[in-house]
Amino acid sequence: MGAFIFNNGTQIGLTALYTTIVVPIAVYLDRYRRSVKIKYELEGIAEKVSAAIAESFADLASCTSVWRVSARGHTTDWKRNAGATTLTQRNKIFLRQTRPTCIRGRVRFPAIKLGREEIFFLPDGILVADTNEVAALNYRDFTLSVNQTRFVESDGVPRDATVIGETWQYVSKDGGPDRRFKFNRRLPVCLYGEIHIESGSGLSGLIHLSNPTAADRFGKIINILNQSTLVESDHKPITSIVKSKALPSIIFGSFLLLYTVFAAVVFQPNDPKPTSSVTAPAAAVQVQENPRERPAAMKQGIAQPQHNKKSVGKPMVITPQ
């Protein structure tokens, strides 16, 4: 790699090519080498359970708005927060049916995105996938509880939400508007559905749904799987587990090594032997007359040119006495 770093455009271009193309390919092949592909086929009870999960999950996906609650805390300043004693930080998410990258086949599973982690609901278990790894959970180690919650909505009421009341942005002690604030708007109080996810391994998440009853059927099915062993006694949907081959990584590593050696040989700069030569500019070379040598030349009768404006070009000869 060090052979690429030189002070010309060719080597800079090779370095940029190496950084933008070679490095991402190396990272991808390294992840591929450490991954395992699972062939998944649904049959028997597993197929029926998967269909039931997908149908109930469609109720969740049909909600106008779905939020992931990323933070929630208690507050005592309820007068300035529409009478609410709990402040919630939330982000909109979109529910979908997909499959993790470790599973081969045409199957799709309900998935809920919780920040960096994504939860996949399979008929025989749960997969939790993040950027680098996938973990498997048994339904008996997983808890999904469904509730309803009151929420003071300040971002607009979804069309499928249930409005159960209203309040003011700034509330007085008797529940009316605080007259000290000139711009004090009315805010609707909505009834939302709530899904709380927990596991023994530390997984935790909170979901709000604009439709307060959308999660009822999904929650019942997950709770049945939490207490049932039907899928475990039935035909296993996993038909094969294939470990990724290391050959692509070996081929790419060999090619990269040969390319590095080739670049080091071909683009090695020639270092010429240092030579010392001093060339003085022509304008700097001037011959000056030494005034001490003039008397000796005059004694020997040598004619010396006199640079006089009146006698230019006419030397004067001096004969010694």
Read off the pLDDT of residues 54-91 as tens digits, 9 standing for 90 and up.
Answer: 999 999 999 999 999 886 655 545 444 454 556 667 88
Tell me if residue 284 falls in helix, strand or coil.
helix
| End-to-end CA separation in angstroms for the chain | 87
**Are 155 and 104 spatial neighbours (Cβ–Cβ below 8 Å)?**
no
The CA distances from residue 260 to 13, 121, 136, in Å, are 14, 46, 41
Residues 192 and 59 both lie in one domain: yes
The CA distances from residue 220 to 57, 110, 150, 205, in Å, are 11, 15, 22, 18
- For residue 254, is it within any domain? yes
Please give the distance of CA 266 from its chain centroid, rounded to a whole number: 37
At 111, the amino acid letter reads A
Task: Give residue 262's pLDDT.
Answer: 66
**Nearest CA among 181, 182, 188 for reference residue 155:** 188
What mean pLDDT comes out for the span 146-165?
Answer: 91
Q: What is the DSSP letter of 58?
A: H
Residues 231 and 255 both lie in one domain: no
pLDDT in tens, 240-287: 445 555 556 667 666 666 666 666 666 655 555 555 555 545 444 454
Please tell me the distance from the alpha carbon of residue 58 to that of residue 55, in angstroms, as a whole number: 5
Tokens of 28: 């991808």
Residues 80 and 212 both lie in one domain: yes
Residues 218 and 146 both lie in one domain: yes
The stretches of the chain forming alpha helices (DSSP H) are 9-17, 23-33, 44-61, 216-227, 230-233, 247-266, 294-299
**Nearest CA among 214, 157, 206 for reference residue 186:** 157
At 240, the amino acid letter reads S
Task: Give residue 163's pLDDT.
Answer: 94
* Strand pairing class (66-74; 204-209): antiparallel
Give the bridge partners for 304, in sequence order. Answer: 316
Please tell me the distance from the alpha carbon of residue 124 to that of residue 234, in angstroms, as a whole number: 10
Task: Give residue 7's pLDDT.
Answer: 47
Q: What is the DSSP letter of 291?
A: G
Q: What is the DSSP letter of 20?
A: I
Residues 57 and 111 both lie in one domain: yes
Please tell me the distance from the alpha carbon of residue 141 to that of residue 198, in angstroms, as a whole number: 9
- For residue 5, is it within any domain? yes
Question: Is the Cα dihedral 31, 36, 38, 39 positive or negative?
Answer: positive
Global pTM value:
0.61
Q: How many domains does the chain have?
A: 2
The CA distances from residue 37 to 134, 232, 265, in Å, are 12, 21, 41
Q: What is the DSSP letter of 39?
A: E
Task: Give residue 2's pLDDT.
Answer: 45
Residues 76 and 4 both lie in one domain: no
Residues 221 and 114 both lie in one domain: yes
Q: What is the DSSP letter of 292?
A: G
Residues 136 and 217 both lie in one domain: yes
What mean pLDDT comes out for the span 138-158?
Answer: 90
Please tell me the distance from the alpha carbon of residue 23 to that of residue 34, in angstroms, as a whole number: 17
Domain edge (last residue) among 189, 221, 237: 237
In terms of residue numbers, what domain contains 121? 43-237
Residues 20 and 66 both lie in one domain: no
Listed in sequence order, the residues at least 6 apart from 197 whose beta carbon sits closer than 8 Å to its beta carbon are 112, 114, 119, 142, 143, 144, 203, 204, 205, 206, 207
Task: Give residue 67's pLDDT.
Answer: 94
* Strand pairing class (103-104; 142-152): unpaired
Task: Give residue 44's pLDDT.
Answer: 79
Residues 24 and 134 both lie in one domain: no
